Amino acid sequence: MEKYTYQWFIQQFQRTKDNAEDFILSVDERLFLKAPTEKQWSIAECYSHLINYGDLYFDNITSAISKNADTAASLNSPFPPRWLAQKIISFFEPPYKMKLKTISAMKPVDTSEYNRMELLDEYLNLQDRLIGQLEDAHQNNVHLGQSKVTHPIFSIITMTMAECFLLLEAHQRRHQWQAEQTLQILKEHQSQES
């Protein structure tokens, strides 16, 4: 499958959905809510952050789809990101070497009362909505490489819809990796205590 086509984008979010479901269902409920240290996020907080982040972008993407119907003559061609956007997106790729300070609008909500299934349902719902946006854009002949989306927090930043979806997907993989590392640390702590 050619990279950056509609089908490729949909496949990335489906893979994200499948990986998260497999991972979350494999984690013990107690470990799911536990942070390795006071300064690190729990697995639940990693996913809470991703849900907050995805929801912030969702409305902007939906609006952009409705404004950009019939902009693509051919929907079978790829929509690659611009060079600078690709460099920024690659910064979010796991494993990351530098931590970023999370702005308050994207911090996780209190997850102490969550259970795995509730959070999993929310996260899978987000993935389904993002896939639905891609399908809607495809149906409305939206050119993902020309249609613009503003950043929901930094409104002076504009990106193509393809770049927006790529950034979301890379960010999700970044925190999926973080959640996996968190589980590893927690299991190491457990074995040291035994």
User: What is the residue-level pLDDT of the chain in tens, covering all 194 positions?
Assistant: 799 999 999 999 999 999 999 999 999 988 999 999 988 999 999 999 999 989 988 988 998 888 887 776 767 789 999 998 898 888 888 877 667 677 776 677 777 788 899 999 999 999 999 999 999 999 988 999 999 998 887 788 899 999 999 999 999 999 999 999 999 999 888 777 76
Are 47 and 20 in contact by the 8 Å Cβ rule? The answer is yes
Q: Which domain holds residue 97?
A: 6-34+41-193
**CA dihedral over 104, 105, 110, 111, signed as positive or negative:** negative
Q: What is the CATH number of the domain that holds 86?
A: 1.20.120
Name the domain count of the chain. Answer: 1
Residue 1 lies in a domain: no
pTM, 2 dp: 0.91
122-158 burial, b for 16+ CB within 10 Å, e for fewer?
A: bbbebbeebbebbeebbeeebbbbebebeebeeeeee
Q: Under DSSP, is residue 41 helix (H, G, I), strand (E, B) or coil?
A: coil
Residue 168 lies in a domain: yes
